[in-house]
Chains A and B, each alone.
Chain A
């Protein structure tokens, strides 16, 4: 259950509070191959989250289209599963009921959906916590619950917006390992939005570097590190080489972003 994703000439302009028109995305083009893990990395304000919301169908693009397996889609789509940046578990549901949510709204019978949800709880390593409520869990465990909830709907494309953004670096690396295992198991087409270079290199088959506003894909870099991987990889020269190369591309853009933020 996997698919290709293509973003063709997608652009978006917003009107700011004082009436200025801000071009968040210049026409952006990008393709994700079947089963590929692609990260999009860019400085703050480069329109990464705008791209995420357009692909997920939360907001319409001004121009261009999002194509899943060769078919143009608009609006939220069942083939695309989204994992949001902010805390998004339902505080009134247990871990198991959170994970079963998408199955429940799809009308699956209780016994069947709980069984299926259990499988995904196990996949993200939360077995034993099925009946805990989110407030009883750490931030990392809550984000894993959210990921399991999205995976349980078996989307053909997994779309994640800085899912580990609010977590500390060590937790982030460990969750990265978990995510690597999950991806190896599911061979899921995945697009990850991030501002963390280490995370992008650790997880991806390919990293797309975005420019500062108006955001566009500047280049993509193939990460030719062996799989299965884990976080021990970050001590290797090859890993450092990729991080260095991406930073080289990113540095000027991040600098532009910082200057613009300073002026504002």
Chain B
């Protein structure tokens, strides 16, 4: 809440700098592009990037690849969330099991998931399925870990209220555990989404036949650098808007 306590003069300064920063970056970019310091084509001019960007937006091919990436994201993230939440609750409701599993989960969580690329390739092939698997694998750990620690920390007195009323296991899950876990699950999802996006794009860049990551690396290989940048911008904007939606959701539902 630092921003609300700032006086309006300071806030205007912050805003000015925030607007100026990208403007400065654009100007520097243009200067570097025109100076010829770097090889021609490595840093195309703003105009070239802008026209490539426009070309991309008007080409149906982009939407095909965009759709593939979105579907992979949706599939991978859905699987990560479902499996992560179920695993987290299953482990967290048994403190003994969770203390056994915790070091494994934590160390796997920090391992870059891209090392599993050869494995998922072997199993799922070169198509979107292997990216979905990689994305699911990436998002799974933060969600499972956050749900697990949330489950361990569900207030015992609330569980006792349920016990005193003789709740069934199912009622206990639906009426007491899940509502208590909304915060930890959403926090895990926010972390997991970032990892899923990274894993899927890395997978696409490394070895695939469709998707925004594939398109970017295709343009790189064929030395269409301006088009490559425009794809990077599209990826950046997509990640930005997904993140905005996610933080809206978390503010709306996470009262903790």
Contacts and interface: CB of A to CB of B under 8 A. Distances in A.
Interface of A: 56-58, 76-78, 80-82, 84, 86-88, 90-93, 101-102, 104-106, 135, 149, 153
A153 B179 contact: no
Interface centre among B157, B160, B165, B179 (most CB of A within 10 A): B165
Given A92-B255, A105-B171, A87 B157 contact: yes
Given A78-B166, A92-B255, 11 more contacts: A58-B164, A76-B165, A76-B166, A77-B166, A82-B160, A90-B158, A90-B176, A92-B179, A92-B182, A135-B255, A149-B161
Contact of A88 (B157, B166, B175): B157
Contacts of B171: 105
A82 B167 contact: no
Contacts of A76: 163-166
Contact of B163 (A58, A78, A87, A102): A58
Closest 6 CB pairs of A and B: A82-B164, A86-B157, A92-B179, A88-B157, A84-B157, A76-B164
B249 to A, nearest CB: 16
A88 B163 contact: no
B255 A91 contact: yes
Contacts of B166: 76-78
Nearest to A78: B166
Given A76-B166, A105-B165, A84 B160 contact: yes
Interface of B: 155, 157-158, 160-161, 163-167, 171, 175-176, 179-180, 182, 255
Contacts of A149: 161
Contacts of B165: 76, 78, 101-102, 105-106, 153
Given A84-B157, A105-B171, A90 B179 contact: yes
Contacts, number: 51
Dominant secondary structure at the A interface: loop
Contact of A56 (B157, B164, B255): B164
Contacts of B164: 56-58, 76, 80-82
Listed residue (A104, A105, A106) with the most chain B CB atoms within 10 angstroms of its CB: A105
A227 B36 CA distance: 97
13 contacts: A58-B160, A76-B165, A78-B165, A81-B164, A84-B160, A84-B161, A91-B255, A92-B182, A93-B179, A101-B175, A105-B175, A106-B165, A153-B165
Contacts of B167: 105
A66 to B, nearest CB: 14
Contacts of A91: 255
A179 to B, nearest CB: 19
A118 to B, nearest CB: 20
A92 to B, nearest CB: 5
B10 to A, nearest CB: 31
Contacts of B255: 91-92, 135
Contacts of A87: 157
Contacts of B179: 90, 92-93
A92 B155 CA distance: 13
A77 B164 CA distance: 7
B21 to A, nearest CB: 38
Contacts of B160: 58, 82, 84, 88
A86 B163 CA distance: 15
Nearest to B175: A105
A93 B178 CA distance: 13
